[in-house]
Structure 1
Amino acid sequence: MNGSTVLRECPGYTYLLLLRAVGSIIIWVDFTLIFSSLSYYWQANAITIGIASALYGLPGLLLGPYFGKLADIRHPISLLRASYSCRAATSLLLMLSPNVDVFVVLVFLKGLSNLGSMPAEQVMIRLMLSPAQVIENARWSTVIDQSLKVAAPLIGAMMTVLCQPQLGFLLPSALALAALPVLHALKQHYPRAAACSANAKRPEPWALIELCLSNVGFRTALVAVLIQTAVLGLYDPLLALFLKQQAFPAGTFGTIVSCTAAGGVAGAVIFKRMFAATTPVRVASIGLTGFGLTVVLPGGLSSLNWPLPEYALLALWIANGGFYGITAMTFGVVMQAASPSHSLGTISATARSVQLGTLVLGPLIGSTLARISSIPTVFLISGIAAVVAGAWLYAHCPTMQTQCDNNTGQANTGSTD
């Protein structure tokens, strides 16, 4: 691997990017169809929908590190092949489900089938791309994910309108099967020698803790992304109620989802220049601080009974998506540079499980705070927490280039336009 940032020079990268796009479509369409089917086809009550939602995320919370370890000790393409095959099968089974109870069990299996792809993709990125190319990949992956965040649910919604929601599961099943020949083509370009050397040492289950203790840069980036995730968990489930209290139209919530996606794309565009201009720790802290400000402002103005125009709210949420993406992309790049080759899958999957844990706890704490005080107060408190944490990280790491390996420094110097 050389220091070039041109991704097309990497053999097989087009297939990797195509897989990322297919995987994103499958996840978003599945998510839309699952909860549309529960509500409109199965006429499920709130408790059943809540159980299904919990079961969908439970595999990632409990079993994520195990699948990460599999990505480290097995050929990642084999794990991806198994994941996409199971995705196709579970989508078909969801379509053929005879009753709501079986459907809910299959939702758990659907969540389980999604687990192998993320750590396997992380291992492949490490083995296929140079450090400079990792930054380019983070940009393109975010652009794809955020664009599909808007488009894929619309596809799922259209299928729900045009036919029974159950029949819509044919699309993610067909896409998962279509990914199998793409995986076969990718394997022809896959660096087998690198895979063998990466798997020479078995990963330890506590690899994430060891890396946090030994690497200040990684620890700081992880803290930033976890605080950001926790803040999201605190306020996001209350966002629709907040908009209703502020007398915004019913369609505002959907527009905000599109705005965050547009902001994510904008963040991906400027990310490369930010990463080249300063240290990764500072990029992460700027992202966290900016994200917090976009939550503080609507909460604070609402607490003061100052009306916020709809256009200003939408602009804030474009910025919200951009800053969120910058922090998340920085963590991804730092993790790629800092993680030992033999445990990258384990570390990435464990970090994801910790993030899911904060997303589970966040709504519980946020709803409790809202009952004690008010929804705007939850926005205000959570946003202030992000701003203070981001400012503290920025102030206390003024000269750190990250102690992530020399790889991050190479990526920085190789990423100029």
Structure 2
Amino acid sequence: MSTGPGADSAPAPTPDDHEEEENSKGGTFSSLRIRNYRLFAGGQVVSNTGTWMQRIAQDWLVLSLTGSATAVGITTALQFLPMLLFGLYGGVLADRLPKRKLLLATQAAMGLIGLALAALTLSGAVTVWHVYLMAFLLGLATVVDNPARQVFVAELVGKEQMQNAVSLNAANFQTARLLGPAVAGVLITAVGSGWAFLLNGLSFLAPITGLLLMRSAELHRVERAPRGKGQLREGLAYVAGRPELLWPIVLVGFIGTFGYNFPIWLTAYVDEVFHGDAGTYGLLNSLMAAGSLGGALFAARRGVSRLRLTVIAALAFGVLEIVVALSPAFWLFAALLVPVGAFGLLFNTTANANVQLATDEAMRGRVMSLFVMVFVGGTPIGGPIVGWTTDTFGARTGFLTCGVISAVAAITVGLVLARVGGLRLRIDLRRGRKHVTFVPARRAAELAPAA
């Protein structure tokens, strides 16, 4: 991105001017030119790797203790239930308080939870109720951590680099998702789940160190919301009055509630359909993460994206889930997880960036807490439903249902956004033309006789 038409004529550029100009240039990894963001990203890739190790070990531990996909669903639901119940309060705190201090507190709390679960597991005292409790406590910490981490990006890189930084955050997360399950599979098979929990707890030292080393003077100033009554209602009313925020968040809610319940149906496929072990489970998660990493890097390189790409990615994600659910062979099932991961991540990243860029600074914490709340907070609703469907009707039916719901939601929201934007679907089957396009309603009426 350019620094503006008047940048070249500015008198006596300072070193800060040159740094800002350099940071504003495009490129897949342009945000990494910024020191504070490098520290943030480096710490996050370490802790995210540990988090994915814990997720895989946690799912497999619960399955080993109970033999039930429903129990895995309950664990997932408990981890995300606090976001559903208290998510908007986390957004209020993120709008009011210094983000770096909030993140230091939440990252420390999440590390201690990992160490506690490690102690229980390595001592042999762990029960499924312990896992349920730790999952719920981790969810409580995430209520504040997630919106604070989302909006802290604006302070690290500024508005011009936000799209790139959001995409790189997703790539960071997916790199960890690629490494974490593979390492967890080896650890679970070799020495047990407890060591994965221990390494996760220790991994939070990296982001804490990165946050402490940041230069406060290089953070971008962001308007903070003052204390006041009715801030939750204010945030909801703000979103309700803006279709460009409301409908992407609705779509995120449907896909987060049903389409993203990977731990439930993936453990069921490994156990019931393909008769694999923890290593197989880790392999499938890694393949999906590889696709997700590709989707995130594509979004980072693309730069600014439109809502149209978000809807298309959501539809492709749902259709691919349907195809994967019906795949008869393991190799085909595994291979198709790569594009599932790519389109799922492309959808989430573009939706996240579009919503943040369309939101006023003082409202961003509350809007992003709502975004995260409907995305992960729907899991307490969808998790047990998908788990019950999987246990009752089989893994294929459970997964197929998730894909159908995601595809229908994408089509519905796409049509609503088109109507709100004054667009109509135009189908032109003539050779050399775009067969399916959205055009302004007036133009569609003019072209209708020619079609």
TM-score, structure 1 normalization: 0.78
Q: Which residue of 2 aligns with 1:133?
A: 161
1:346 and 2:358 matched: no
Q: 1:273 to 1:239 in 2, by over 3 A?
A: same
Secondary structure of the 1:116 match is helix
Paired with 1:282 and 1:142, the residues of 2 have a C-alpha distance of 20
Secondary structure of the 1:131 match is coil
Q: Which deviates the most, 89-98 or 354-363?
A: 89-98
Q: Which residue of 2 aligns with 1:224?
A: 251
* Shift of residue 138, structure 1, vs aligned partner: 2.4
Instruction: Report if aligned partners of 1:71, 1:116 keep a CA contact under 8 Å in 2.
Output: yes
Instruction: Give a deviation string over 1:66-102, Cα, whole Å, max 9, x none.
Output: 2222222111111111112223333333344474368
Q: Which residue of 2 aligns with 1:297?
A: 323
Q: Which residue of 1 aligns with 2:307?
A: 281
Q: Which residue of 2 aligns with 1:256?
A: 284
Size of the alignment, in residue pairs? 390
Q: Name the aligned partner's letter for residue 358 of structure 1.
A: G
Instruction: Report if aligned partners of 1:292, 1:383 keep a CA contact under 8 Å in 2.
Output: yes
* Shift of residue 146, structure 1, vs aligned partner: 1.3
Paired with 1:88 and 1:242, the residues of 2 have a C-alpha distance of 31
Q: 1:187 to 1:77 in 2, by over 3 A?
A: farther
Q: Which residue of 2 aligns with 1:407?
A: none
* Shift of residue 198, structure 1, vs aligned partner: 2.2
Match of 1:76 among 91, 99, 111: 99
Paired with 2:203 and 2:324, the residues of 1 have a C-alpha distance of 40
Residues 7-86 of structure 1 correspond to what in structure 2 (within 5 A)?
A: 7-34=31-58, 53-86=76-109
Q: Which residue of 1 aligns with 2:297?
A: 269
Residues 99-118 of structure 1 correspond to what in structure 2 (within 5 A)?
A: 99-100=125-126, 103-104=130-131, 105-118=133-146
* Shift of residue 191, structure 1, vs aligned partner: 2.8
Q: Name the aligned partner's letter for residue 148 of structure 1.
A: A
Instruction: Give a deviation string over 1:272-309, Cα, whole Å, max 9, x none.
Output: 46565xx521011111110111022244xx4xxxx644
* Shift of residue 316, structure 1, vs aligned partner: 2.3
* Shift of residue 241, structure 1, vs aligned partner: 4.0
Q: Name the aligned partner's letter for residue 80 of structure 1.
A: L
Gaps (5+ residues) in structure 1? 403-417
Q: 1:333 to 1:161 in 2, by over 3 A?
A: same
Instruction: Report if aligned partners of 2:46, 2:203 keep a CA contact under 8 Å in 1.
Output: yes
1:315 and 2:335 matched: yes
Instruction: Report if aligned partners of 1:224, 1:284 keep a CA contact under 8 Å in 2.
Output: no
Instruction: Report if aligned partners of 2:77, 2:379 keep a CA contact under 8 Å in 1.
Output: no
C-alpha RMSD of matched pairs (Å): 3.6
Q: Which residue of 1 aligns with 2:378?
A: 358
Paired with 2:184 and 2:386, the residues of 1 have a C-alpha distance of 30
* Shift of residue 149, structure 1, vs aligned partner: 1.0
Q: 1:335 to 1:35 in 2, by over 3 A?
A: same
Could you tell me the percent identity over the aligned residues?
Answer: 19
Instruction: Report if aligned partners of 1:94, 1:166 keep a CA contact under 8 Å in 2.
Output: yes
Paired with 1:381 and 1:161, the residues of 2 have a C-alpha distance of 32
* Shift of residue 220, structure 1, vs aligned partner: 2.4
Paired with 1:125 and 1:351, the residues of 2 have a C-alpha distance of 16
Paired with 1:141 and 1:316, the residues of 2 have a C-alpha distance of 24
* Shift of residue 371, structure 1, vs aligned partner: 7.6
Instruction: Report if aligned partners of 2:113, 2:138 keep a CA contact under 8 Å in 1.
Output: yes
Paired with 2:397 and 2:309, the residues of 1 have a C-alpha distance of 28
* Shift of residue 320, structure 1, vs aligned partner: 0.9
Match of 1:181 among 209, 219, 241: 209
Q: Name the aligned partner's letter for residue 306 of structure 2.
A: P
1:124 and 2:162 matched: no
* Shift of residue 190, structure 1, vs aligned partner: 4.8
Instruction: Report if aligned partners of 1:282, 1:393 keep a CA contact under 8 Å in 2.
Output: no
Q: 1:254 to 1:185 in 2, by over 3 A?
A: closer
Instruction: Give a deviation string over 1:157-189, Cα, whole Å, max 9, x none.
Output: 444455464455442333223433321112534
* Shift of residue 4, structure 1, vs aligned partner: 3.7
Secondary structure of the 2:231 match is coil
Bigger radius of gyration among the two: 2
Instruction: Report if aligned partners of 1:298, 1:313 keep a CA contact under 8 Å in 2.
Output: yes
Q: Name the aligned partner's letter for residue 338 of structure 1.
A: A
Instruction: Give a deviation string over 1:310-334, Cα, whole Å, max 9, x none.
Output: 4433332211111111110011102
Q: Which residue of 2 aligns with 1:152?
A: 180
Paired with 1:241 and 1:218, the residues of 2 have a C-alpha distance of 35
Gaps (5+ residues) in structure 2? 1-19, 423-451
Q: Name the aligned partner's letter for residue 371 of structure 2.
A: A
Q: Which residue of 1 aligns with 2:239?
A: 212
Paired with 1:179 and 1:234, the residues of 2 have a C-alpha distance of 27
Paired with 1:366 and 1:200, the residues of 2 have a C-alpha distance of 41
Secondary structure of the 1:118 match is helix
